């Protein structure tokens, strides 16, 4: 079982204010980086929660999941301005196809996370950070081409891919857009702008299932014990993501993405050693 020690906000008012300010700044920085490549940045936030703010593995995942929920909920209305709902309606079958797997995967992933030994969960998170780094480079530097699958094979592949993404998203506390977007492009041949909006439609219910499962674990009290910290980092994350989105494309992907991938690899090493 994972450790149950929950950090509680305390100390002098000055130390609390400093921690909350650090949370807001870290959230903004992560959101900015993620927004500049069209992501929420939760994969970068997770190592900070562990290495800088002192949350143990499961607590960090739960806090990251709560923050990811807030960021996605905020991103959906903004995304609908850029891509109207009428443009997405023809693609709802894709959302249903992926959700058929991702909802199950999210529940299983959250269940496994709550049952893993803390050391094992650190190692799993480390490996997943490496995989996200690879996916990040492959998606943004390489070229994702549609697989041209037949309808039955496409449907089966969608359920399997959705389940795998649901597990990863639940284990890391992320929305999963870095995996969902290339999957939608690859399996269904949808352009990347539409894929980004569809990924949010899949992410939100998937995260809610994982969040509901985590709420049954005693480590879930980390949110109540650190509510101001969570709100401060959430505010920073949302502002950072919006700012990053406005700067989308300012820094060439060929420069930014390899640097972010390197950051993920360094973080993965630190998380592994932390375990």
What are 110-130's pLDDT values in tens digits?
A: 999 999 999 999 999 999 999
Structure confidence at residue 2 (pLDDT): 45
- pLDDT over 60 (residue 3): no
- pLDDT over 60 (residue 4): no
Across 235-267, b (16+ Cβ under 10 Å) vs e yields bbbbbbbbebbeeeeeeebeebbeebbebbbeb
73: pLDDT confidence band, cut at 50, 70 and 90?
A: confident
7: pLDDT confidence band, cut at 50, 70 and 90?
A: low
Structure confidence at residue 76 (pLDDT): 84
Distance CA 222, CA 2 (A): 13
Average pLDDT, the chain: 89
How is the chain split into domains, by residue range? 14-274
Q: Which whole number is the average pLDDT over 213-228?
A: 94
Give the count of beta carbons closer than 10 Å to the beta carbon of residue 275: 18
Q: Which whole number is the average pLDDT over 71-98?
A: 89
Q: Which whole number is the average pLDDT over 72-76?
A: 85
Q: 53 versus 274: which is more confidently predicted?
A: 53
Structure confidence at residue 148 (pLDDT): 84
Percent of the chain with pLDDT over 70: 94
Instruction: Say what the pTM is.
Output: 0.89
250: pLDDT confidence band, cut at 50, 70 and 90?
A: confident
Structure confidence at residue 98 (pLDDT): 98
What are 22-38's pLDDT values in tens digits?
A: 999 999 999 888 887 77
99: pLDDT confidence band, cut at 50, 70 and 90?
A: very high
Structure confidence at residue 77 (pLDDT): 84
Q: Which whole number is the average pLDDT over 39-65?
A: 92
Residue with tokens 């269940």: 111
């Amino acid at each position: 079982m994972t450790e149950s020690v929950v950090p509680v906000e305390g100390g002098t008012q000055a130390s609390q204010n400093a921690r909350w300010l650090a949370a807001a700044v870290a959230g903004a920085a992560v959101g900015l980086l993620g927004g500049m490549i069209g992501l929420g940045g939760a994969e970068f936030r997770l190592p900070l929660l562990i290495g800088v703010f002192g949350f143990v593995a499961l607590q960090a995942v739960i806090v990251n999941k709560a923050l990811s929920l807030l960021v996605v909920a905020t991103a959906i209305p903004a995304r609908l301005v850029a891509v109207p709902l009428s443009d997405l309606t023809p693609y709802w079958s894709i959302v249903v196809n992926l959700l058929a797997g991702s909802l199950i995967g999210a529940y299983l992933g959250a269940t496994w996370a709550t049952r893993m030994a803390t050391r094992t969960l650190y190692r799993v998170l480390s490996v997943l950070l490496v995989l996200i780094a690879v996916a990040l480079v492959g998606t943004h530097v390489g070229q994702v081409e549609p697989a041209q699958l037949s309808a039955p094979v496409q449907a089966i592949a969608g359920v399997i891919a959705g389940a795998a993404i649901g597990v990863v998203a639940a284990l890391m506390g992320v929305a999963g857009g870095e995996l969902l977007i290339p999957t939608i492009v690859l399996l269904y041949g949808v352009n990347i702008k539409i894929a980004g909006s569809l990924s949010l439609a899949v992410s939100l219910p998937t995260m809610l299932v994982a969040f509901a499962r985590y709420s049954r674990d005693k480590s879930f009290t980390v949110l109540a014990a650190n509510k101001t910290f969570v709100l401060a980092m959430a505010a920073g994350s949302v502002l950072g993501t919006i700012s990053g989105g406005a700067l989308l494309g300012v820094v060439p992907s060929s420069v930014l993405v390899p640097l972010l991938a390197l950051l993920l690899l360094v973080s993965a090493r630190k998380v592994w050693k932390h375990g």
